[in-house]
Amino acid sequence: MAVTRPGSVRLILRLEIRNARSVFGSLAAAIGAAGGDIMAVDLIQAGKESVIRDVTVGVESPDHGERVIAAVSALPGVRVINVSDRVFLAHLGGKIEVNPRIPIKNRDDLSMVYTPGVARVCTAIHQDPAKVFQLTMKRNTVAVVTDGTAVLGLGDIGPAAALPVMEGKCMLFKQFAGVDAFPICLDTKDPDEIVEIIKKISPGFGGINLEDISSPRCFYIEERLRKELDIPVFHDDQHGTAVVVLAGLINALKVVGKKLDEVKVVLVGCGAAGVAIIKLLLRAGVRNLVGVDRIGIIERGRDYPENPMWTWLAQHTNPEGL
């Protein structure tokens, strides 16, 4: 279940406030008494009798926000004109767009980027397929693919509801690495169908980033794609998390003066991320590692037909047979 952190919901209250010293003081006191945190006050319009201000308030949750709004609405001399959620405002119209790298200013520009000039580029790629990495966006483009079955802490919410998360991940690719990424939300939960769809769209991408696909299906999908595609395939929930955990463990062990092969590691949660963390820690040098999930400890040598990855863990972890 998704958990809202205190202050993570920010509301913008557009208020008409009567021009009297005591009114704004009463407003601030009411917001504070309701548990809200005034984060900004902006003047929108000033008049003789009243002013219109945007008051940004941090609250713990949408329900908490409703209580703050009710407290403000009850004040004499204050009229609530509108309430906006800053997060929803940021998502209006989506968070990403496609922009051309070359401006089309005249007929000559058009003839180069499109017909007839583009035909010669197509022919060059047809004659030498490797040139697709030089002459198209492929080399710097990643597909962020999900089926919406394991989105953040929300679970199986479907492909359409997963789109805002995929847009956000694409923004991170561009902001931090300069990589162009496109969200691909698939309306199917069939692993083989997902694999086939990704294979069919792969010519337009230089890499595939799998995102928020439920376990254990994600293992099968990634394994097949890695075998059957000629471009990199990365499951973010597995390997992105694993890299961060390994980095944190290495730094922590430096502080206490120990090495990876000297410590006993217990990992709670053997889903997609947990399995990837275990695999990376083992490859990095951890020797004594025990995995724990809702069924308890992953037992050495036991077969787990419901989850083949747990069977793999049973063969490679828990050396003491706990």
Question: Which helix (DSSP H) or strand (DSSP E) does residue 233 occupy?
Answer: strand 233-235
CATH number at residue 258: 3.40.50.720
Extract long-range pairs of 45-52: CB within 8 Å, 24+ residues apart: 47/19, 48/19, 49/18, 49/19, 50/16, 50/17, 50/18, 50/19, 51/16, 51/17, 51/19, 52/14, 52/15, 52/16, 52/17, 52/81
The answer on 145 and 72 residing in a single domain is no
Catalytic site residue 264? no
Annotated catalytic residue, options 114, 131, 174, 264: 114
Residue, of 271 and 55, whose pLDDT is higher: 55
- Average pLDDT of the chain to the nearest whole number: 93
Q: Of 18, 21, 73, 25, give the one whose Cα is nearest residue 47.
A: 18
* CB neighbour list of residue 41: distance below 8 Å, 6 or more residues apart: 53, 54, 55, 56
The answer on 148 and 85 residing in a single domain is no
pLDDT at res. 27: 94
CATH number at residue 42: 3.30.70.260
Q: Average pLDDT for residues 94-113, to the nearest whole number?
A: 93
Domain presence at residue 127? no
Domain hosting 284: range is 239-316
Would the pLDDT of 3 be above 80? no
Domain presence at residue 125? no
Catalytic site residue 258? no
Would the pLDDT of 19 be above 80? yes
In which band, very low, low, confident or very high, does the pLDDT at 272 lie, cut at 50, 70 and 90?
A: confident
The answer on 256 and 206 residing in a single domain is no
Where helices occur in 107-262 by DSSP H, the ranges are 107-113, 118-127, 132-135, 159-177, 191-201, 217-228, 241-256
pLDDT per residue over 59-89, tens digit each? 999 999 999 999 999 999 999 999 999 889 9
pLDDT at res. 8: 76
Domain presence at residue 200? yes
Domain presence at residue 97? no
The answer on 85 and 63 residing in a single domain is yes
The answer on 227 and 204 residing in a single domain is yes
CATH number at residue 214: 3.40.50.10380
Instruction: Judge whether 185 and 148 are in contact, CB under 8 Å.
Output: yes
* CB neighbour list of residue 154: distance below 8 Å, 6 or more residues apart: 1, 2, 161
Domain presence at residue 42? yes
Domain presence at residue 106? no
The answer on 256 and 217 residing in a single domain is no
In which band, very low, low, confident or very high, does the pLDDT at 170 lie, cut at 50, 70 and 90?
A: very high
**Measured between alpha carbons, how far is residue 43 from residues 18, 50, 157, 282, 285 in Å?**
13, 11, 40, 58, 59
pLDDT per residue over 194-234, tens digit each? 999 999 999 999 999 999 999 889 999 999 999 999 999 99
Annotated catalytic residue, options 105, 169, 220, 258: 169
* Share above pLDDT 70 across residues of the chain, in percent, rounded to a whole number: 98
pLDDT at res. 13: 95
The answer on 310 and 253 residing in a single domain is yes
pLDDT at res. 28: 94
In which band, very low, low, confident or very high, does the pLDDT at 322 lie, cut at 50, 70 and 90?
A: confident
Domain presence at residue 208? yes
Last residue of a domain, one of 197, 231, 265: 231
Q: How far apart are CA 134 and CA 131, in angstroms?
A: 5
The answer on 222 and 142 residing in a single domain is yes
Q: Are strands 180-185 and 233-235 parallel, antiparallel or unpaired?
A: unpaired
* CB neighbour list of residue 163: distance below 8 Å, 6 or more residues apart: 183, 185
In which band, very low, low, confident or very high, does the pLDDT at 2 lie, cut at 50, 70 and 90?
A: very low
In which band, very low, low, confident or very high, does the pLDDT at 178 lie, cut at 50, 70 and 90?
A: very high
Which tokens in the block code for residue 127? 């004659």
The answer on 244 and 205 residing in a single domain is no
- Which range, of 48-52, 166-170, 178-182, averages the lowest pLDDT? 48-52
The answer on 225 and 244 residing in a single domain is no
Would the pLDDT of 21 be above 60? yes
Q: Of 296, 233, 322, 227, give the one whose Cα is nearest residue 310.
A: 296
Residue type, 211: E
Query: In the chain, how many domains are there?
Result: 3
Last residue of a domain, one of 181, 211, 231: 231
pLDDT at res. 1: 36
Would the pLDDT of 5 be above 60? no
Domain presence at residue 122? no
Residue type, 281: L
